[in-house]
Amino acid sequence: MQYKLLGNNFAVIADLSKTYPIILASNFCTVDELIDTSSIKDAKSGKLPELKTALNGYENREFELISSFKWTQTGPEFSRRIWQEISKIKPGRTKTYLEIATNAGNPKATRAAGSACGKNAVPIFVPCHRVVPSAGGVGNYAGGADLKAQLLHHENGMRQVQKPTLQK
């Protein structure tokens, strides 16, 4: 399914065979590019009106609809814990890689937390753009640092992206 989100192409692959859709992959690209780069090769085109409603809501700063979607992705146990922690970050807020790694059970695994963010197959639904470096700035993002800053700015309204505080 192809959408526009904040003026960017946004593609989603979902399992529609369940009573509720499960997001399998998403990214800021075309559907064809998403299929080419994902492990999902038997994707079928379809419409998901509630997703369009949720994405329109996101554009209007109504973020709760996006977080209501179920998602799945495979990866190592620590990565799955990281993705669960990221899913808890509320719109307009950020957490550092250190905070996410600590909450996932290993405060020394900040690089692994960053790696899990980079392998996140369902951005927006698992909002890895809300994870930032302890030193400040927005850090890396699969869609580019400018897109990450745009998403954070959008979620913060006109507020400035908060600088994370270091935990001791």
Active site residues: 128
Residue 42 CA to its chain's centroid (Å): 23
> Residue 149 and residue 138: Cα distance in Å, rounded?
6
Handedness of CA 125, 66, 141, 110 (dihedral sign): negative
Contacts of 138 (CB under 8 A, 6+ apart): 129, 132, 145, 148, 149, 152, 161
What number of H helices and E strands is found in the chain? Answer: 7, 6
